[in-house]
Structure 1
Amino acid sequence: MQSRYTNLLIASAFAAGFIGCAGKPTNVTSIPNSADPAVEISRTEEMVNEARAKQMNVLSPDNFKSAERELEKAKDYQADKKSAEKILERVSYSRAWLQQGENKSDISKKTLGEITDARSGALKAGAPNLYSKEWKKLENRLENVTKDVENGSLTAAEKKGPDLVAAYRQIERDSVAKQHLGRAKSTIDDAQKDKAKDKAPKSLALAEGKYNQTMKLIAQDPRNTAAISRTAEDATREADHLAEVMSKVNAGNSEALVLQNERQQRMITNLRGENKSQEQELAQAGEQLEVAKQQEAELARQQALTQAADKIRRELRPNEAEVFTQDGKVMVRLKGLNFASGKSTLTPKNKALLQRVETALNDVPAAKIEVQGHTDSTGKAETNQRISEERAKSVQRQLIANGASSDKVDAIGLGDERPISNNGTAAGRAQNRRIDLVIEPTIQE
């Protein structure tokens, strides 16, 4: 690794050349005096923030600091209300330092590739917060190395680079372990201090085994977050269990008795779970049976309804009535019962038809019969409504006279609201002047 690392440094150095960071920046691009200083300062602040996000402050610290210094001067000039020319000059210097820093960062990235990768992993693991003192020391060591690299000296990088990589890798592993296993370690340490090795050796061994398994995963690959999280959860769970066992042992129980009681509790819980599962299956079967019963009852109702319609249909001729089922009821449309326009009087022919209707209904026990009167659209709506009610009541009285129970027969007028044919023709209007019987049969459940 040492040889490969050295070769990488030498190749990068020859490719980039050795240019230090001193005095004014090179390749300064002037900003037109017509530009708005406030806008240019704001834009440069964004550029500085982007550079920091790319770790320029670490990879090319001198250039980055120079860029920040020139930007602050520009802000001071602005506050002192100096000329736009002077302000924009400082802004252009800041941008030039950033450009120079970007070039140097590229050199450092190539030269210090392993270090930056190791540092990035430690950052993601939360090392700056979890190990702040150690992190600051590492950052100071890295800054010294990167300064040497950007100034063209590879000696420090060559000597200290491998150690820095190892240090960043280790602090990454330590941070991952602390983040995922902090609680488990603290719990196990407390148990060990409380002589868990003597009081609860089995529980301690299980907790330590899960903990060591997770530590091994972290040592192999601290960035395998999914696997580490899973095993860390197991380790924390076993550590918590150890604490529970220790609490019961300290209360006067033996570990063997505590573990035996836990096994019994698990057996009871499993049995309860099985019973609950069986109860759920039975409940589900009961629900399915209830649905089947409801479906069967609905089928029986539909069959009874169809049979009732068939019985009525057999007693009446097609030109006298149209019989069908609708919305759980039997509809009898009395085609042979016609009224003159504007009239509600029943003719002898109409009465004879209603007698046959009553005879047909004798075979179909009805819970309710609704007589609906309808008119054509000729005339005013109020008049049509009145006539439809009178026609319905005429039929109601005749059905009762023929033997229908008065408390089961209702009459309602619907005017011209529900035509079944075209009111634009004489034949259509005649069909719309009609009586519909809506029969609700008594169906045995």
Structure 2
Amino acid sequence: MNNEYPSSSGETAQFAQTFFTAGAAAASVQQNGDVPTQQFVASSADALLNSLVGMDLVTHADIVKMGTTQRNHLRPGTDGDCFLYSNEEVFMEKPPKIIEGYLFGDLIGEGSYSKVKEVVHVRSLMRRAVKIIKDKRLRKIPGGEQNVHREIDVLRRLNHRNVVKVFDIFRIEEKQKLYIVMEFCVCSLQQMLDNCTEKMLPEFQAHLYFTQLIDGLDFLHTKRIIHKDIKPANLLLSLDGILKICDLGVAELLESASDWCTLVQGTPKFQPPEVVSGTQKRFRGRLVDIWSCGVTLYNLVSGCYPFDGDVIMKLFENITTAPLQMPPTPISQSLTQLLTGVLQKKPEKRWDMLKIRKCKWFTSQHQTDSARIVRVPSIKHTPAHRPLSVYNSLVQLYSGQQTVTEEEEEEGGEEEEEQKQQPAEEEEEKQTK
């Protein structure tokens, strides 16, 4: 069944109802002083579960069997909308781990110098993600410390629905770790592409994300911020299907209205000809970002790249000299016009934000087919938008069980993991020397 999909960002939530089989919302805690009341534990546990999971198929007791060694998990049902039970033996429950007022859940992402975990703020019960950055790892990455400080400085200045929001930043000196608490997002566009069979999105769904990308990027540009690394992996989706631009580690905060940049550290396949050619010493930052948006859109609707190469030098040669070929998959004429405009090799001919916003493909309403929508991928056989990893800890916390503090927390066995990695790291350092 086809429905008309409006292009305005204000109606994104209507689309998200089809996109997500169930949403997740925050629940409020009734408190008596600093300690939740027994009334909350008794009467609000089921409401909390349902508000987080977005479903009424199960009760709190169904999910966590207190006082036993067995707990229930949800697993996808055959119809994609119903989630059935699967039992798993648990020999020992870890006590809830709280750091700076945040209840820690499972690992949901990992980078070269950081890990990302699901957390819940214990007072507001708002679901967040925390990026944990270890000084030891950061120092091994060229420019790592500078990138982190730059990202923090930039994110603190921003407040836009299409840019990931930072809520809290704190540091544990004893652990030599920095914690950045951000909006919780369910996946990146790259994860969606990797997990779908065709490795691409239908044009109407790509339109939904691209319009939000332009809104967020235009906001950054008005704040004199050049992102420099726009790509599907740096575009996240929130619980309600809103696109969020993230990873501003290589972004540049311009000192003046001029957008001239002298250094670009983005991903090679998404860099424009003026950067990869090596013939120019400075670049127009906003046009660099627009080129990257064009490559991203091309990738979303085709599953491939406008320019590619077996080795880096061949890739750079193709970006600089090879003519633009439209994707082998059928696309609309208006999309062809947009891609041609934003992927102009000469910066002075490349479309700016105004032209993008005025083009037919951007402003048109698109027909959506619910049967073709690419949905959020599952993580570890559980749906990405359902917060499973903190259920047991929440129940234990509000039942008065002892918690793990900052001094006792182990980051889920991170110290043991580091001990295993230490010999390999030492060998790597010897080879480097």
Q: Same fold (TM over 0.5)?
A: no
Relative to total residues, which structure has the larger strand share, 1 or 2? 2
TM-score, length of structure 1 as denominator length: 0.19
Relative to total residues, which structure has the larger helix share, 1 or 2? 1
Higher relative contact order (CA 8 A, sep 6+): 2
TM-score, length of structure 2 as denominator length: 0.19
Bigger radius of gyration: 1
